[in-house]
Amino acid sequence: MKVKIDPERCQGHGRCYDLAPALFAEDDEGYGQVVGGGAVPEGEERTARLAVANCPERAIEIL
């Protein structure tokens, strides 16, 4: 499983890196970015789905 953030959609709400800090981090301006190229480690699949469900801009996609 991989996650991806669409930078055109992300408005920096920060829920992704609050809820799933193993998968997302904040850039210098507070926008979300994926950690480790977006690869979801084993055991983090639920958190990945949680982040997808909680992004108000629907900017996160699971690949």
Question: Which residues are at the interface with ligand F3S (CB under 6 A)?
Answer: 5, 10-16, 31-32, 55, 57, 59-60
Look at residue 38 and give its three-state secondary structure.
helix
Closest approach, Cβ 7 to ligand F3S, in A, equals 9
- HSE-up (13 A, CA, CB side) for residue 35: 13
CB nearer to ligand F3S: give 7 or 41.
Answer: 7
CB nearer to ligand F3S: give 16 or 40.
Answer: 16
Residue whose C-beta lies closest to ligand F3S: 32
Q: Are 59 and 9 in contact (CB under 8 A)?
A: yes
Rounded Cα distance, 46 and 27, in Å: 23
